[in-house]
Amino acid sequence: MKDMPPRLDRDEHLELAPAQRLAYDAAEKEGVIQLDGMGESITIQHVFELVLRLKQITNYDPLTGESAKLERLEADMEEIAASGGKAILFSQWVSSIEWLEEKLARFKPLMYHGKIPTPTREPILKRFKEDPNANLLMMSYATGAVGLNLQFAGYVFLFDRWWNPAIEDQAINRAHRIGQKSQVIVTRFISKDTIEERINRVLDEKRALFAKVLGDSEATNLSLSMNASEIFGLFDLKARHGKGTRKISPKGPESSAA
């Protein structure tokens, strides 16, 4: 809508922290060797599991807790909190949100995800809106992508990327919607030289293609989803058994999130 305030999108390409880089490189090398050794028995699920494991390491190193994304988020939140702003953070993993809650304790973050009992969710949103000291709300994509009006928040962080940019847009639109009075700044964290950059490249190409073909019309969630061939291609593998046209289930990543 023309009377909506602007939305500023910025992709933050971050170098992994040293321990993260070692853990990531070892996991990808070992994982690809295992996939190559499977021959014709390899399935999309095998590749999918490796992608998930690598994406989780780009959030933080499970052994040391090092996280380039956390360092950048902390710096941004210092400024946002100091100015009295409000930010929403999205992650596909509840475990990542719970990990961040402890690391960001000084900002007193609020959490909103599938483990939060339904009766207590509305009070959480009410506090986020009304409490001047509540500067950060952390949500899972599954619970925060639709149906919520959070147009008083001026910042949105995508701590990790969803498989489908249409779902990301639905999440961002919790803040960038009718009633928003100021610009919304959207920050996507993307780890350099990792699976995240490869996924981001595929999704950007698909978005550009659909924009060229369909103009300003919205592509469907399904049309922007990554298919099996594209997932195999993340590791220069070829899809087996004619599965190249199958799409990722929208609940695939979230089912691994608990």
Question: Does the residue 254 lie in any domain?
Answer: no
At 255 the pLDDT is 34
11, part of any domain: yes
Domain span including residue 178? 1-246
Q: Is residue 252 part of a domain?
A: no
Domain-embedded: residue 139: yes
What region, left, alpha or beta, does residue 202 occupy, with left being phi > 0 and alpha being psi -120 to 50 degrees?
Answer: alpha
Question: Which pLDDT value is given to residue 249?
Answer: 44
pLDDT at 43: 85
Give residue 243's pLDDT. 43
Domain-embedded: residue 258: no
pTM above threshold 0.75: yes
Name the 3-class secondary structure at 242: coil
Q: What is the model's pLDDT at position 152?
A: 81
| CA dist., res. 64 & res. 103, Å (int) | 13
Pick the closest to residue 69 from 135, 137, 16 (CA basis): 16
Give the CATH number, domain containing residue 12.
3.40.50.300
- The Cα 60–Cα 208 span in angstroms is 30
Q: What is the pLDDT of residue 210?
A: 64
For the chain, how many structural domains are there in total?
1
Identify the pLDDT of residue 227: 75
Please list the ranges in the chain whose pLDDT falls under 70: 1-3, 145-147, 177-181, 210-225, 237-258
Res 107: pLDDT: 92
One-letter amino acid of 205: E
Residue 145 counted as domain residue: yes
Asked whether residue 251 is assigned to any structural domain, the reply reads no
Does any domain span residue 255? no
Residue-level pLDDT at 257: 38
Determine the pLDDT at residue 179. Answer: 52
